[in-house]
Amino acid sequence: MNPVQQRIAGLIDHTLLNETASGEDHIRLCEEARKWNFRTVCVYPHFVELCVSELEKSGIDVCTVIDFPDGKGDSERNMDDALMMISEGAMELDMVMDINAFGIREYERVAEGIQVVVNAAEGRIVKVIIETCLWEQDQIMLACDIVQSTGAQFVKTSTGFAAQGAVTGQVKLMRETVGPEFGVKASGGIKTADDALAMIKAGATRIGTSSGVEIVEGL
């Protein structure tokens, strides 16, 4: 790999969130992650153990999703899921914030729901999906402020299952809101090297994509 490929690959969460994907598909995902040295693989909870085993001693972490993709805000279940995933070896958790609570301005409930997962993670990376396509600019800024207040390490654009994924203008707004040090993950619809570079230029420090191989090959 050339230096640009190495740098960008190190920002990619190599993602497989297809409900029909098999164990063989996940083994292939891990093989690709090892070949290109992606930052993590991001998979559904029931494939965490398999991927942890496949990536043992590779230096590549396993990321999984919590309350995904709907963000229903069942804190007790989310805590239990987070604890189970950590026990199976997940090192990063991408959770959806309580979408309904945010929409009706129950912001304390949103924060408390995130805090439960952050506490369960015990210092492991928690990225909070705010589903940017649902909100106006001031709401995106507020969601970023809430995420920062909880001790999570990243704010993330999208699940990839809503009407729209990552948009560079919204990534830039998120970066301006959280400041230079906090994590910003762009995810949803990022398929090419140009897409990834645009998100990074806008302020993303992590890229979630199922097209990681195509992206690094295109650099």
Catalytic residue among 94, 98, 127, 195: 94
Of 13, 67, 127, 185, catalytic: 185
**What's the CA gap between 206 and 184, in Å, rounded?**
6
Ramachandran angles phi, psi of 38, nearest 5°:
-65, 160
Asked if 191 contacts 211 with a C-beta cutoff of 8 angstroms, the reply is yes
d(CA 152, CA 179): 14
**CB-CB contact of 164 with 130 (8 Å):** no
Q: Is 13 a catalytic residue?
A: no
CB 173 within 8 A of CB 145: no
Which residues, 6 or more positions from 93, have their beta carbon under 8 angstroms from its beta carbon?
63, 64, 65, 66, 82, 85, 86, 117, 121, 124, 125, 126, 127
Look at residues 144, 117, 149, 120 and name the one whose alpha carbon lies nearest to residue 130: 144
DSSP H or E segment with residue 27: helix 23-36
Paired tokens of 93: 């958790």
For the question of residue 185 being annotated catalytic, the response is: yes
Catalytically active residues are 94, 156, 185
